[in-house]
């Protein structure tokens, strides 16, 4: 049997991590599926809280982002723990959703090395720009 607080913590961390990413809509759909156990009205109320939390994160200035993320993880963990106490059968589904979101980040990572390019453009698609690494350009040496 899964520990409700542990699953709630993992779920909350995954949600907060995904909130600012372009993949949020698919994660939100997964959360909605899990929350259906509370009925249409109950799941709508919890989704409103999740959406409000996401908006707080998006609207927060960069210098406050870490503190906002930490606060939201705590708030969502409490909400998810309360939900899981009412619906312990949802713990495995929430755990799977959290693992899938974490796995998507790891599988989307790629390394790209580009050498001896000048006056060129590099385009990377598929995944977060944060996960794609950095680009280092050197200006060509004079006479080359």
Share of the chain above pLDDT 90, in %: 27
**Residue 114: predicted pLDDT:** 45
**Residue 130: predicted pLDDT:** 41
pLDDT surpasses 60 at 138 = no
pLDDT surpasses 90 at 55 = yes
Highest mean pLDDT pick, 6-10, 17-21, 57-61, 101-105:
57-61
**Residue 1: predicted pLDDT:** 53
Q: What are the DSSP calls for 68-87, one per residue?
A: HHHHHHHHHHHHHHHHHHH-
- pLDDT-wise least confident of 8-17, 29-38, 39-48, 108-117: 108-117
**Residue 2: predicted pLDDT:** 66
44: Cα within 13 Å, side-chain hemisphere:
3
Instruction: Compare 135 and 71 and report the one with higher pLDDT.
Output: 71
Rounded to the nearest 10°, the torsion over CA 64, 70, 76, 78 is -140
Confidence of residue 60 (pLDDT cuts 50, 70, 90): very high
**Which residue, among 111, 128, 134, 96, has the nearest Cα to 24 in the 3D structure?**
128
pLDDT surpasses 80 at 111 = no
């Amino acid at each position: 049997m899964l520990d409700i607080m542990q699953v709630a913590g993992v779920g909350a961390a995954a949600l907060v991590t995904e909130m600012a990413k372009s993949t949020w809509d698919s994660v939100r759909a997964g959360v909605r599926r899990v929350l259906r156990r509370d009925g249409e009205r109950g799941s709508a109320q919890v989704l409103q809280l999740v959406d409000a939390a996401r908006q707080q994160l998006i609207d927060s200035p960069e210098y406050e982002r870490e503190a906002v993320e930490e606060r939201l993880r705590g708030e969502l963990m409490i909400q998810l723990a309360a939900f899981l106490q009412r619906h312990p059968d949802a713990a495995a589904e929430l755990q799977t959703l959290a693992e899938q979101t974490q796995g998507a980040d790891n599988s989307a990572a790629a390394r790209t090395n580009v050498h001896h390019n000048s006056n060129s453009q590099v385009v990377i698609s598929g995944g977060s720009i944060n996960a794609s690494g950095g680009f280092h350009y050197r200006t060509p040496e004079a006479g080359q």
